[in-house]
Amino acid sequence: MKSEKHFSFEQRAVEKAAARAKDERDIRSGVVSAAQVARENGGGRHKIELLGPSARMQKLASQY
């Protein structure tokens, strides 16, 4: 998505639908695996570092 002065929710929805359709085509055709698409789209939390002084953040960070 390009940085624009006027954000369009409708245009963003169209872009996301096109991206999802492409991902589905790629998975079906075997170009990429579902796991690879998930990683590219932000899946897999194993590399996230959560840091913070509060006990709540420390507890949350210990789960990953």
Give pLDDT, residue 57. 73
* 46 burial level (CB within 10 Å; 0-12, 13-18, 19+): exposed
| pLDDT tens string 22-48 | 999 999 999 999 888 888 887 666 656
Query: Does residue 58 register a pLDDT over 80?
Result: no
Query: Domains of the chain: which residue ranges?
Result: 10-62
* Cα 15 to Cα 7, 12, 24, 33, distances in angstroms: 12, 5, 14, 22
Which residue type does 29 have?
S
Query: Does residue 49 register a pLDDT over 70?
Result: no
CA distance 16 to 18: 5
| pLDDT tens string 10-25 | 999 999 999 999 999 9
Contact 25, 15 (CB under 8 A): no
